[in-house]
Amino acid sequence: KMETRDWVSLCESIAENTLLQELKASGHALDLDSVASFSTLLSKNSGLKRIALGDSEFGDERLKILSEGLRSNKGLEELELDLKSVGPAGAKELAVALKENRSLTKLKLSRNPLGDEGITTLCEALETSNSSLQDLDIAETGFGDPGATALAKAIASPTCGLLKLSIADNASIGSDGAAALWSALGRRTGCGEEGDSSQPNGSDSQPARAGLKDLTLDGCDAVCRGGACDAMVAALTKADCSLSQLSLQALSLTPEESHALARALGACPALTKLRIAKSNLGDAFASTFSSSLLSAPAPPGLTSLDLTSNDLTADGLASLLSSPSLRVHTVCAFDNALKDGAASLLSSLSKQETVAPSLTDLDLGGNNIDKEGAMALLTGLQANPSLLPSLATLGMGANEGVADVEDDSELSALIEALRTRDVPLDVIIRAGVRSDPSGRPSM
């Protein structure tokens, strides 16, 4: 166990060090004197790029001390303070530091009781003074519509430099707060607001800030609810929407909300990575999403699509994979409802001339596929490799039909034949275990 004198000695010894770039002390209980030594370190050291410190009782008083050093720091890029019992008072001190600090680009504050007051204070700094912070994680911090509205103002500000934002698991955000966030996203694009060249502090020479590129809204049902639904569609379908990565896990949506979301996502031009898992969206979502991709003037160039736990059947998955506008490389359909429909998946796909020509990785694990369905699926792929011509990895773990592959010579032989065909297909039975073309397992 490190004592106060040990922390003080450590900080003193590396105060002038220019080689050390990362310091991980998260989980350690630090008294006030120990935190003061870290604050002094930050005020002197410009070599450290990433730091994480303190246990779950770190709290506001210690953050106030640390923030004093952060204000004058000129090298730190990433600060991890998730699950540190930081509340509104600590957020206020951190906001003061952010108004002066120009090096910090990534800040993790998830699982802290910041509330609306704390989030509002931080957002005021981002709105008016800080342009260096690019990555902010405020997931599960207990804020609702007032905090969301303050965040929206910051996002829309020409000063704000945020590119990546997580507000996951803030269930108190209502449709008003969500609508404000979507509207701000619609105003803050990669090209800036048309006709608005005004900048803070009376300057008009600073170029417009790039828009958000990575947004996580897991567990925030209101993002598709009420007035937020129209704002969402408007923001995501703008020709200059800059979002390239979007996560929308664990949502509880009505059929109407699901339909609106599918339409918007299919027409989001810059989207390359979409995670919309654990929401039981069903085949209707897949069908609408596929139709939207076809009709969009500039469909997204998706490379990764996560559809885990969405109650998709073989028909729903086939409607997506057979869309000529979907050029995805990776699809995760783990824990859906293929069951005995696995055999019909290839039948549905075979009706199209070209199916998912860019797809290299497909995960069908956890779908209750039985032995008959697994054999039909794998036999079909072996007999007709042009169905999914680029497929290199097929996940089949956690399915009853392949659970005893070592004791099933017929299934083992088929998997080996797929590995050695002209375009090798590696069938993954266990998570984390792959086989090279020679059949030797590797991690």
> Taking 80 as the threshold, does the pLDDT of residue 135 lie above it?
yes
What is the overall mean pLDDT for the chain? 90
Contact partners, residue 138, CB within 8 Å, separation at least 6: 109, 110, 114, 119, 122, 165, 166, 167, 170
User: Mean pLDDT across the stretch 50-61?
Assistant: 97
> Taking 50 as the threshold, does the pLDDT of residue 221 lie above it?
yes
Maximum average pLDDT range among 108-117, 394-403, 417-426: 108-117
Range with the lowest mean pLDDT among 36-50, 205-219, 239-253?
205-219
pTM more than 0.85: yes
pLDDT band at 431 (very low <50, low <70, confident <90, very high): low
Strands (E), 78-179: 78-80, 106-108, 135-137, 164-166
User: Contact 389/357 with Cβ under 8 angstroms?
Assistant: yes
Reported as a single tens digit per residue, the pLDDT across 144-203 is 999 999 999 999 999 899 999 999 999 999 999 999 999 998 776 543 333 343 344 334
Residue with tokens 């504050």: 109
Cα 23 to Cα 77: distance, rounded to the nearest angstrom: 12
Cα 15 to Cα 48: distance, rounded to the nearest angstrom: 9
User: Contact 115/141 with Cβ under 8 angstroms?
Assistant: yes
CA end-to-end distance (rounded Å), the chain: 35
> Taking 60 as the threshold, does the pLDDT of residue 299 lie above it?
yes
User: Contact 397/365 with Cβ under 8 angstroms?
Assistant: yes
Query: According to the model, what pLDDT value does residue 109 have?
Result: 98
Could you tell me what percent of the chain has a pLDDT over 90?
76
Reported as a single tens digit per residue, the pLDDT across 368-399 is 998 888 999 999 999 888 889 999 999 999 99
